Chains A and B, each alone.
Chain A
């Protein structure tokens, strides 16, 4: 990775289990051999690190941290480093754990308990613009957009509040348990195109949830 060869390619791993941090460090180093890996145990330490960090390209966060939910770190990291890639590490790839993470701006997730090779492969896939999507999350996203009452006002991107027919199709295939490759074959597209749709879905969900939060805040008179 030419990018990682640049000086100052910094990554952050937030996890309270030393073994999990260890394996994540290994995976990150395998993908970005020259990167620096900062390991912290909880949200407080992560915030401290963020306050003094100069750069952060990738952050891998565990959701269940001792002092707070790892989800609270996502906006903090993205606020400080807008181009950082925030990933969630989790045991389950179900919607309860991951939907709000994606909505908060996470760009992917890694399942714990995988072998080192699988972990590295998944990390690479995310880096290459192929974020993972489990059936439960796909269904949840589909439901989310279907139940959304009306296009949200104050949306940066008007089209973000609804799904295109292609995106809906991708979500329903993945929601039925198909892999990206299978969905691509059924739709007559390349794997990369379908992966691109998934990336767009991640982004749309994030944009919508931010717009919703802004709307909610305005409704409550916070802004």
Chain B
């Protein structure tokens, strides 16, 4: 089941509007009695819509351009139709043929043009045969019902169409409003003629009320041009009501005025209700928008003072108080004889707001929500600040521990080559720190490739052969900064030790999978086999162990059969790549 808000349904109803207008033109039958009634019916009911349809198809080509013109033509047609009809009603017998023709032509013109203006809107919805079918049903009804029940059928068919039209009016395409306003202009002319020409009015009490209403509506209309939602809420229902009263009065002259007004009111009520809802929604959205804008400012302000100022402005915007007073102690939002006391999340003082009207419980609740919200924001900001500070500390620590230590050891070296080695180590450390700052977890493959490349270069310079067989398998792990840094550093340090102290001819590296997903790195040199003993005594080994400890890893040495074997074991963190 489609909702009434769907565009297709709107189009159906727009078609009904056009058909209703045709039916109105048919009502002019009385104004032109000299024409044979059957011919008139055939012409009015069948020819006009088909002419309009043909014109509508013609204007599909350039809808934007032609629609405006059709809408204007519909307005002119309506003015002519309703004006001449009014004149005929008031002075029956004055130029009957000319006025009848004018009314008839005006009605057709309005109906056709309105149809043409709305037809192009149908195009994007597809399934045009359904609309065509509906149109046919309406036309057939308009033709058959009055024939079957000449006494009341026409009136009731008119009423039914009007009800459809009223529902259509509550929907909201732009071109339809144009037609509405043009119809209003037609109304105004009709009423002006009625007032000017006829003094012994049969509806004396009605006309002044309507005139007042219309004057109001036209005055409001100027403002409505700027406020479409206000227009929907107030003006459209007002205009519709006036229009309905007039049309019903015209179609059912025997009904008492109060009944006409009541019926019109009932018919218009849904439009008023919907317009009111839309108006409320718009106001609510605007208020929310203001609120969110202010809240965003709250997040962006750097200092407590700035945030406090924004908070106060926010409260002024939300509550629109007549007066706001700073109070010393405000722990939670409270209502105090219609005044609202709100604490400030960014300072100790609170605010006491006096409104134009006493504040209610809902205002207090809103205050609590705002406070919770800004508190959340403040906590987020604090957490962010803490995170930034922690990150800074981490960088500082890494620079101090890794880079600083390497540079210090370079300073302590007696000979130049050793100092050079130390400085190169420092550069490598710096590279690790900087590389880790990019914030992306590197794949284990990349880390190993980097290590392999770097180790090959270093060994190459030292004239040592690297034996690191190529492994086809790709290890599906990603190392975050902590793993990356510590593993890199330990690996580098072990290679450095081998180069410096072991003086091997060959250094081999093997990567193996240990139990429980542990990664085992075996670094073996065929040198003098003293690296382990040296390491064991100095600061170096404890440093390496500390680093491995940071990633829950272990470091073992074995010095069997000459040379040194260092075994680095750690569990790489599970990775999304693994899946």
Contacts and interface: CB of A to CB of B under 8 A. Distances in A.
Interface string A147-164: 000000000000000000
Contact of B461 (A92, A118, A178, A186): A118
Contacts of B446: 135-136, 139
A80 B450 CA distance: 36
Contacts of A139: 446, 449
A107 interface: no
Contacts of B456: 177, 179
A178 B438 CA distance: 24
Interface string B428-441: 00010011001000
A177 B435 contact: no
A177 B449 CA distance: 4
A11 interface: no
Contacts of B470: 173, 176, 178, 182, 186
B451 interface: yes
Contact of A115 (B448, B452, B461): B461
Given A118-B461, A182-B470, A113 B450 contact: no
Contacts of B427: 91, 113
Interface residues of A, number: 20
Contact of B452 (A92, A96, A113, A177): A177
B453 A135 contact: yes
A11 B431 CA distance: 30
Contacts, number: 46
Interface centre among A96, A175, A177 (most CB of B within 10 A): A177
A206 interface: no
- Decide if the interface of chain A is mainly helix, strand, loop or mixed: loop
A111 to B, nearest CB: 9
A91 B435 CA distance: 13
A17 B508 CA distance: 38
A94 interface: yes
B493 interface: no
Interface in B323-381: none
Interface in A174-189: 175-179, 182, 186
Contacts of B435: 94
B91 interface: no
A114 B452 CA distance: 18
A89 interface: no
B420 interface: yes
Contacts of B448: 176-177
B461 A113 contact: no
A188 to B, nearest CB: 14
A175 B453 CA distance: 9
Contacts of A176: 445, 448-449, 452, 470
Nearest to A176: B449
Contacts of B420: 115
A214 to B, nearest CB: 30
Contacts of A96: 438
Contact of B449 (A92, A118, A135): A135
A178 B450 contact: no
Nearest to A118: B461
Contacts of B461: 114-115, 118
B424 A175 contact: no
B541 interface: no
A32 to B, nearest CB: 23
Given A92-B431, A118-B461, A182-B470, A177 B423 contact: no
Given A135-B446, A177-B448, 10 more contacts: A91-B431, A92-B434, A96-B438, A113-B424, A118-B461, A135-B452, A139-B446, A176-B449, A177-B450, A177-B452
Interface of A: 91-92, 94, 96, 113-115, 118, 134-136, 139, 173, 175-179, 182, 186
Q: When A and B form their complex, which 9 residue pairs have the shortest distance between CB atoms, in order from nearest? A: A177-B452, A177-B449, A135-B449, A177-B453, A135-B453, A176-B449, A179-B456, A92-B431, A113-B427
17 contacts: A91-B427, A92-B431, A92-B434, A113-B423, A115-B461, A135-B453, A136-B450, A139-B449, A176-B449, A177-B448, A177-B452, A177-B453, A177-B456, A177-B468, A179-B453, A182-B470, A186-B470
